[in-house]
Amino acid sequence: MTLKESIIRCKNAFHYKVGLRLPYNKWRIRALRRMGYEIGNDVYLPSDLKIALNFVYYRGKLTIGDRVSIAAGVIILLSSHSNSSAVSKQVTPRGDFVSIEEDAWIGAGSIIMNGVTIGKGAVVGCGSVVTHDVAPHTVVVGNPARVIRAINTDEYTD
């Protein structure tokens, strides 16, 4: 590992390991923004949010829209592949991105797999494992997450 890689790794590890554990939400958001992620306004991130990523150069792409609420114990996978395992010849890695659009709500203990987009105004129930894209204004629950109902957008205002 070169000196430049070591410095980048240390900087990102600091922002991730220390920044996400800070007591104020604004500081946690600032730490993720400094790592290069796109975080909207009025977002809530818990202090125990876990983001699985590669610290060196490519950390994946995380986009969180405005007014998103993420509950405690959520895991977001940005990097997941078989490395040098023999399985790597058989399995194609998924995309290294997660996109959570505005007004979404992620319930406690949920796992968001890489390569997933959670639509505008969607709700992910507690403990759900999201393996596929979630359509806007829907509620998904379970492992794997399945749609249980659509949200009537006439019931609330923007």
Of 15, 81, 132, 137, the active-site residue reads 81
Q: Which two tokens stand for residue 28?
A: 């946690």
By C-alpha distance, which of 32, 144, 125 is closest to 71? 125
Confidence at residue 158, expressed as pLDDT on a 0 to 100 scale: 55
The CATH homologous superfamily for domain 38-155 is: Hexapeptide repeat proteins (2.160.10.10)
Confidence at residue 93, expressed as pLDDT on a 0 to 100 scale: 66
Is residue 81 annotated as part of the catalytic site, yes or no? yes
Q: Going from the first residue of the chain to its last (158 residues), give the mean pLDDT of each consecutive group of 10, the final group possibly shorter.
A: 80 76 87 89 92 66 95 89 70 79 96 94 96 96 95 72
Confidence at residue 63, expressed as pLDDT on a 0 to 100 scale: 96
Confidence at residue 102, expressed as pLDDT on a 0 to 100 scale: 96
**Ranges of each domain in the chain:** 38-155
d(CA 27, CA 121): 25
